[in-house]
Each structure stands twice: as structure tokens, then as C-alpha cells.
Amino acid sequence: MMKSFEDIKQKSHSVVLEIMPNVSSEELLDDVDLFSLGLDSINAMMLVMNLQDAFGVTFETCEIDVDNFRTLANITELIKNKQEVIPTSVKV
């Protein structure tokens, strides 16, 4: 079952806060640059892995781009798009 945009945003918000414990929930607005809040390359990779686990998606190499993970809004949009194209399993 696909999650709503709001559900994805809330869950993404929680995952980001787990990776960035020094950031408050109030600071983590949709359009705030996560790298300006202290996200570094190591934490960014942890964020990618945690988001994949949390949403059951796999990001393609071309999707693991700084801009896709720069803001909560970008992350939410990426995951929403991934969930829309998840193929259903087909038995052969």
C-alpha cells in the first residue's frame, strides 16, 4: 500500500532526525538545506540507507545525488515518485 505524501514527509522527517540528533524538529523545515544544518557525506549515506529500509525502496545510483537529499521536500518527492513506480510482482 502506498503512503500519502504527508505520511512520507512525516516518516522522512523522523529518519532525518535520527541521523541528525543535534537538529531540532522545529529547525527541520521542508525547504531547509540539510547540509547547512550539519549533514555530511557519511551521514548522508546513512540517511540514504535508513530511508531505503524505512520505505522499502532502493535508490538507483543516479538517484543518489546531493540535490535529491538536500531538503526534506526533495526527499519526500523522491520517495513518493519511487513508490509510484514500484512494480507489482508477476509470477511467470
* Percent of the chain clearing pLDDT 70 (strictly above): 89
Q: Is the residue at 89 inside a domain?
A: no
pTM above 0.85, yes or no: yes
Q: Is the residue at 91 inside a domain?
A: no
Q: Is the residue at 78 inside a domain?
A: yes
Residue 91 vs residue 60, higher pLDDT: 60
Q: Is the residue at 90 inside a domain?
A: no
Contacts 24+ apart (CB under 8 A), 15-18: 15/47, 15/50, 15/51, 15/54, 16/47, 16/72, 16/75, 18/50
- Please give the Cα distance from 83 to 92 (Å, whole number): 23
pLDDT at position 83: 87
- Cell numbers standing for residue 23: 537538529
Residue 92, Cβ neighbours under 10 Å: how many?
Answer: 2
Range 9-26 average pLDDT: 97
Q: Which distant-in-sequence residues (6+ apart) come within 8 Å of 58 by Cβ?
A: 52
Instruction: For residue 60, give its domain range.
Output: 5-84
Give the tens place of pLDDT for each residue, 41-86.
999 999 999 999 999 999 999 999 999 999 999 999 999 999 876 5
Count of structural domains within the chain: 1
List the CATH number of the domain containing 51.
1.10.1200.10
